[in-house]
Amino acid sequence: MSSSSDPTVRQTPPVAATGDATDTILATQQLTKKFGGLTAVDTVDFTVEEGEIRCLIGPNGAGKSTLLELITGQLRPTNGEIYFDGQDLTDLEPHERIDTGISVKFQSPHVYENLSVEQNLQIPLQRTDRDVDSVMATTLEQIALTDKAKMRAGDLSHGQQQRLEIGMALTLDPTLMLLDEPVAGMSVEETSEVAELIESLHADGMAFVVVEHDMEFVREISDQVTVLNQGQIFRQGSIEEIESDEDVRRIYLGENA
Ligand code: ADP
Ligand code: MG
């Protein structure tokens, strides 16, 4: 008699079960979010390996932002679980999830326009016991805004504001960074600056989940790509596999054609 389909006996996180070379840092199990009659995220088993850059793509309304907001705790799932670093996050508050090592830059901008660049970075830093001066200096350098430290955030360019927001997430010293459309509306040059920033943080071991429509950007940074469609994982693979997949072209690339 198999008990594997009985949800009441599923006690051990899937991450602890494997002993292979790669370690899963994030795993959702049967994760589901319904908004009334609409199932925005539908029984999703989504896993991310330690230190990888995963890109999440899919048509508008596929459920990408909802999936990220379930992972950060902004939204509560209708069903399913979320494990991070072997810990069950499902019932934790957003700030408790941050403390486990997850940082996020949401789709809509969240910088404080009337504060300086430096003051914006100080806000998330207040909740840590990290050394403010040294983290500030390092972060400003990473996001290439050292010479703009005293500038009002509202006076920065769009690209600089996006980098500042990534910087705010960085001050929390995450092991996993979630970025929702980090290069939307950016110039080619601004986009490649963000790609470089992600690559250099990745080289230091940080894992990423990046939601993005810009396929050139996805090609540049991704290890693996997950395609979401109508709330479900539709495909997963290398960018080459995804781009040559006829069904993906139909549901996703066709939309932009
Ligand atoms: P994506 O980020 O892939 O474009 P979303 O996750 O934003 O998609 O949305 C997925 C679906 O859920 C869409 O149909 C959207 O309209 C719906 N949705 C998202 N947030 C809410 C909400 N707070 N209330 C009701 N419906 C929502
Ligand atoms: Mg979205």
Going by alpha carbons, the residue nearest to atom 16 of ligand 1 is 61
How far is 158 from 78, CA to CA, in rounded Å? 35
Tallying the residues shown for the chain, one arrives at 257
Q: Which ligand is nearest to the CA of 67?
A: 1
Which one-letter amino acid corresponds to residue 168?
M
How far is 121 from 133, CA to CA, in rounded Å? 11
Contact (Cβ atoms closer than 8 angstroms) between residue 173 and residue 204: no
Residue-wise pLDDT for 45-54, tens only, equals: 999 999 999 9
Domains of the chain, with CATH numbers? 17-251 (3.40.50.300)
Residue-wise pLDDT for 20-30, tens only, equals: 456 999 999 99
The pLDDT value given to residue 21: 54
Q: Where are the alpha helices (DSSP H) in the chain?
A: 14-17, 64-72, 94-100, 117-125, 132-142, 158-170, 188-203, 215-221, 239-243, 246-248, 254-256
pLDDT band at 134 (very low <50, low <70, confident <90, very high): very high
Contact (Cβ atoms closer than 8 angstroms) between residue 131 and residue 205: no
The per-residue b/e assignment along 84-93, b for 16 or more CB within 10 angstroms, e otherwise, is bbeeebbebe
Residue-wise pLDDT for 84-120, tens only, equals: 998 999 999 999 999 999 999 988 778 999 999 999 9
How far is residue 18 from each of residues 11, 41, 185, 206, measured CA to CA in Å?
15, 26, 41, 21
Q: Which ligand is nearest to the CA of 181?
A: 2
Question: Which residues form ligand 1's pocket by a CB distance below 6 Å?
Answer: 35, 38, 40, 58, 60-66
Dist. CA 60 → ligand 1 center (Å): 9
DSSP 3-state assignment of 253? Answer: helix
How far is 35 from 41, CA to CA, in rounded Å? 9
Task: Give the residue-averaged pLDDT of 238-247.
Answer: 94
Bridge partners, 232 (sequence order): 229
Atom of ligand 1 nearest to the CA of 75: 23
Tokens of 179: 């970025």
Which one of 32, 33, 34, 38 would you pick to mutate in the ligand 1 pocket, going by the greatest count of ligand atoms within 8 A of its CB?
38
How far is 120 from 107, CA to CA, in rounded Å? 18
CA angle, 64 then 77 then 218, to 5°: 15
pLDDT band at 6 (very low <50, low <70, confident <90, very high): very low
pLDDT band at 128 (very low <50, low <70, confident <90, very high): confident
The pairing of strands 207-211 and 176-180 is parallel
Contact (Cβ atoms closer than 8 angstroms) between residue 222 and residue 199: no
